């Protein structure tokens, strides 16, 4: 890969001729806004921010940037947690915010065509009027392009799958400026290489997604929420494996450890069990089917040593539970002013989940830290939230050391270094350990599609050239 170049005034002049002067900025406030995401990673300013308004704009920008060897880092909503959109090599931050339209809803096919800058929650608000929704739920109001770039997942993965399971078609602009349209409106295809899923999870390193067709689901007619409390984390996580082993497919199955439950209650906003807890949700077309599932899950929780079980909760209580789950991070920040959190993201087979939680607890305690743990337990995804003091190198080193131990344990359990947050900056060091020879294949694909290395350099792979 050739050395990358710095952005020059003449470059900005040309780029502004594509998008208009008002859609290219070197204003310090705009540069700062695009210098960091919601992760703990160090901020890096781009040299300029550009807001394309169409796929053709993106094509012209990338064609020019490739010719001039200018790095380009796509930007969605900045909600990512691994530094994925941080422009560590400067250059251009390509903000997709202007490309935020629903192009077409196809209710008879349970599909929607949407631009990459559309925000997830805003899109679902519109779709709900037709009784439909896009199921993957990252919690934050992420952009659709960002969700595709990271293969975002979240609380509803068990029943509905991750982002990759719900992407049918993509419009992608390659580094050369060539516009690629791949995929089909059919629900399945065996035609050629699966280029759609090559780009899902590629974090903007292979091309810039501009438009997509997503698979939708009907809004559930019947649902039921469950709170199950246990004496310890081991009992709670054993119950997860037992529930899945019984053949049930909850819409969501979340684990929250004791410190998390205490933090939620101490906020004054919630009254929940002060024990390790599972939050479970079922969707169905009938109340009878829901009752059958609730009876079985209650029996399993009792057999695994459950202390309390509350099921059949209504919509208001169900919404309150998910509010608690999604606000965990904000509550922890408020509880420890001046602290930051390293949010770890690992996943293992469900049969290993209890073991992973135990390893994480010991790794954190061995370093004298007090962390909280939550996770999408039904698919083996765990998120230890490890506090550290910003600016304190020793404190930060302890948090990083704990993360390394947890990630290494997950990989040794035939799991992954990242279940849903992507590789970004923080997980590059583990890629060779997890993928072996597969990493060389990834590099070959990257070189073939982006020979000059202009697309989001410094991500996924541990080393990149820099001018």
Nearest Cα neighbor of 71 from 6, 130, 20, 23 is 6
Domain end (from 173, 201, 218): 218
Query: Is residue 129 domain-shared with residue 199, that is, in the same domain?
Result: yes
Per-residue confidence (pLDDT) for residue 29, from 0 to 100: 98
Per-residue confidence (pLDDT) for residue 465, from 0 to 100: 41
Per-residue confidence (pLDDT) for residue 466, from 0 to 100: 41
CATH number at residue 144: 3.30.465.10
pLDDT band at 150 (very low <50, low <70, confident <90, very high): very high
Question: Per the structure, how many domains does the chain have?
Answer: 3
The mean-pLDDT minimum among 273-282, 327-336, 448-457 falls in 327-336
Query: Is residue 319 domain-shared with residue 413, that is, in the same domain?
Result: no
Mind listing the pLDDT tens digit for each residue in 115-135? 999 999 999 999 999 999 999
Mind listing the pLDDT tens digit for each residue in 188-200? 999 999 999 999 9
Per-residue confidence (pLDDT) for residue 467, from 0 to 100: 37
Per-residue confidence (pLDDT) for residue 94, from 0 to 100: 98
Per-residue confidence (pLDDT) for residue 118, from 0 to 100: 98
Instruction: Tell me if 459 is assigned to some domain.
Output: no
pLDDT at residue 2 above 70? no
Domain end (from 265, 298, 329): 329
pLDDT, average across residues 157-163: 94
- The helix/strand/coil state of 120 is helix
DSSP 164-216: GGGEEEEEEE-TTS-EEEEE-SSS---SSS-HHHHHTTSTTSS-EEEEEEEE-
Quote the distance between the C-alpha of residue 351 and its chain's center: 23
Query: Is residue 275 domain-shared with residue 316, that is, in the same domain?
Result: yes
Query: Is residue 275 domain-shared with residue 383, that is, in the same domain?
Result: no
Mind listing the pLDDT tens digit for each residue in 40-61? 899 999 999 999 999 999 999 9
Domain end (from 274, 309, 329): 329
Mind listing the pLDDT tens digit for each residue in 376-406? 999 999 999 999 999 999 999 999 999 999 9
Per-residue confidence (pLDDT) for residue 83, from 0 to 100: 95
CB distance 144 to 123 below 8 Å? yes
The mean-pLDDT minimum among 105-114, 206-215, 246-255, 310-319 falls in 310-319
Mind listing the pLDDT tens digit for each residue in 211-248? 999 999 999 888 889 999 999 999 999 999 999 999 88
Mind listing the pLDDT tens digit for each residue in 325-338? 888 999 999 998 88
The mean-pLDDT minimum among 78-87, 271-280, 326-335, 353-362 falls in 326-335
pLDDT at residue 323 above 90? no
Query: Is residue 353 domain-shared with residue 398, that is, in the same domain?
Result: yes
CA–CA gap between residue 73 and residue 31 (Å, rounded): 13
Query: Is residue 235 domain-shared with residue 134, that is, in the same domain?
Result: no
Helix H or strand E encompassing 229: strand 222-230
CATH number at residue 364: 3.30.70.2740
**Average pLDDT of the residues of the chain:** 94
Give the domain extent around 355.
338-419
Per-residue confidence (pLDDT) for residue 463, from 0 to 100: 63
């Amino acid at each position: 890969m050739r050395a990358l170049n710095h952005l020059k005034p003449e470059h900005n002049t040309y780029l502004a001729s594509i998008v208009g002067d008002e859609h290219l900025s070197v204003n310090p406030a705009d540069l700062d806004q695009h210098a960091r995401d919601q992760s703990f990673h160090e901020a890096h300013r781009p040299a300029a921010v550009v807001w394309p308004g169409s796929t053709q704009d993106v094509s012209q920008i990338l064609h020019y940037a490739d010719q001039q060897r200018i790095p380009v880092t796509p930007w969605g909503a900045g909600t990512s947690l691994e530094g994925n959109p941080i422009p560590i090599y400067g250059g251009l931050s390509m903000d997709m915010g202007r490309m935020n339209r629903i192009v077409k809803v196809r209710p008879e096919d349970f599909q929607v065509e949407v631009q990459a800058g559309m925000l997830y929650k805003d899109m679902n608000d519109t779709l709900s009027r037709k009784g439909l929704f896009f199921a993957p739920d990252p919690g934050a109001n992420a952009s659709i392009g960002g969700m595709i770039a990271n293969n975002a997942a979240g609380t509803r993965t068990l029943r509905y799958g991750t982002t990759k399971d719900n992407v049918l078609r993509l419009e992608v602009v390659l580094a050369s400026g060539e516009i690629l349209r791949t995929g089909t409106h059919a629900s399945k295809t065996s035609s050629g290489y699966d280029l759609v899923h090559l780009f899902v999870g590629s974090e903007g390193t292979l091309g810039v997604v501009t438009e997509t067709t997503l698979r939708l689901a009907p809004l559930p007619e019947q649902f039921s929420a469950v709170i199950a409390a246990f004496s310890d984390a081991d009992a709670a996580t054993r119950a997860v494996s037992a529930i899945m082993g019984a053949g049930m497919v909850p819409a969501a199955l979340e684990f929250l450890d004791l410190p998390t439950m205490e933090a939620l209650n101490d906020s004054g906003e919630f009254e929940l069990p002060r024990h390790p807890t599972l939050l479970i949700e079922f969707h169905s077309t009938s109340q009878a089917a829901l009752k059958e599932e609730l009876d079985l899950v209650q029996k399993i929780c009792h057999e695994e040593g459950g202390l309390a079980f509350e099921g059949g909760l209504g919509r208001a209580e169900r919404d309150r539970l998910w509010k608690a789950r999604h606000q965990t991070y904000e509550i922890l920040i408020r509880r420890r002013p001046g602290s930051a959190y390293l949010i770890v993201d690992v996943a293992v087979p469900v049969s290993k989940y209890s073991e992973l939680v135990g390893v994480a607890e010991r790794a954190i305690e061995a370093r004298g830290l007090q962390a909280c743990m939550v996770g999408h337990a039904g698919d083996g995804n765990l998120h230890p939230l490890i506090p550290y003091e910003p600016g304190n190198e020793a404190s930060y080193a302890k948090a990083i050391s704990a993360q390394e131990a947890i990630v290494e344990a997950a990989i040794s359990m035939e799991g992954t270094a990242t279940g849903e947050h992507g590789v970004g900056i923080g997980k590059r060091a583990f890629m060779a350990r997890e993928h072996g020879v597969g990493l060389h294949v990834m590099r070959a694909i990257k070189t073939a599609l982006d020979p000059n290395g202009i697309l989001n350099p410094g991500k996924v792979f541990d080393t990149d050239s820099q001018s």
